[in-house]
Structure formats: C-alpha cells, structure tokens
C-alpha cells in the first residue's frame, strides 16, 4: 500500500456532485461557511484547491456525509 494522495480534480467533482444531489447552490454553501464570496467553493469544485480541515468538517455536516465520501484518492 502506497502513501495516499488526494486527487484535487476528483474531490472537486465530488463536492459539486454532493451539492447538486442535495439541491444546494454554491451561494448557499458560501453562506453556510460565512464566506464573503462564492470563489472558494468554485475553486474547490474546479480542483484548484482543497477545503481546510475545518471547512471539510463543515461540508460533511452540510452534506450529511463523511470525509471519506468527499475526498478522492489518486488512482482510487
């Protein structure tokens, strides 16, 4: 077993998928996170960046899921 590496693009796609499945807008996610704009959420969805641990925890609550369900591993 090799060292796990997070796939940013696949994780972003999963965040978008979970958001869409639940009918939650990008703006609603940003509001839930108390962000001033939607840009961070769009960056996550594009795979340009990952949520912080605190924001990942909040996404789990918002989407009623687990960290393992959101994060995607390279080659996984």
SS (H, E, C) the chain: CCCCCECHHHHHHHHHHHHHHCCCCHHHHHHHCCCCCCHHHHHHHHCCCCCCHHHHHHHHHHHCCCHHHHCCECCC
Domains of the chain: 8-70 (1.10.260.40)
Output the pTM of the full model.
Answer: 0.93
The model's pLDDT over 14-56, given as tens digits with 9 standing for 90+, comes to 999 999 999 999 999 999 999 999 999 999 999 999 999 999 9
């Amino acid at each position: 077993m090799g060292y796990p590496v997070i796939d940013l693009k696949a994780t972003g796609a999963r965040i978008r998928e979970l958001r869409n499945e639940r009918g939650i807008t990008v703006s609603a996610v940003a509001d839930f996170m108390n962000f001033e704009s939607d840009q961070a959420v769009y960056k996550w969805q594009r795979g340009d960046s990952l949520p912080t641990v605190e924001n990942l925890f909040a996404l789990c609550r918002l989407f009623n899921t687990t960290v393992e369900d959101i994060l995607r591993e390279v080659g996984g």
